[in-house]
Amino acid sequence: MVMNVLETTVLYDTLGVVNDLATWSIRPQGWYPTFLLAGQANKWEFFNQRNVASAGLEFTNLDTRDQIAWPFSLERLNVHFFAPCHVFQRNLFESIDIWDWLHTPLWECELPKHCGLTLNINQDCRLRLNSMMPGAGGGPVAGGMGSLSMAPLNIGGNLGISTSGQGTATVKTSYMFAEPIGIPVKAAISVTIEPTEYVRQMLQALSGPGDNMFNALDGKTFVRHPAFFGIRVSMHGTRQMQQRGEAHAR
How far apart (Å, rounded) are the C-alpha atoms in residues 203 and 200?
A: 5
Instruction: Identify the three-state secondary structure at position 65.
Output: coil
Instruction: Read off φ and ψ for residue 39, nearest 5 degrees.
Output: -75, -20
pLDDT in tens, the chain (250 residues): 556 788 888 999 999 999 999 998 889 999 999 999 999 999 999 999 999 999 999 999 998 887 888 889 999 999 989 888 776 777 655 455 666 778 888 898 889 999 999 999 998 999 999 998 887 775 444 444 444 444 444 444 444 555 555 554 566 678 899 999 999 999 999 999 999 999 999 999 988 888 877 776 776 777 778 889 999 999 999 988 766 665 544 4
Which contiguous run of DSSP H or E holds residue 5? strand 4-18
Distance of CA 104 to the CA centre of its chain: 13
In SS3 terms, 214-233 reads as: EECCCCCCEEEEECEEEEEE
**Contact residues for 30 (Cβ-Cβ < 8 A; gap 6+):** 15, 44, 45, 49, 50
Where does 83-210 show beta strands of DSSP type E? Answer: 89-93, 96-100, 115-121, 124-130, 175-183, 189-195
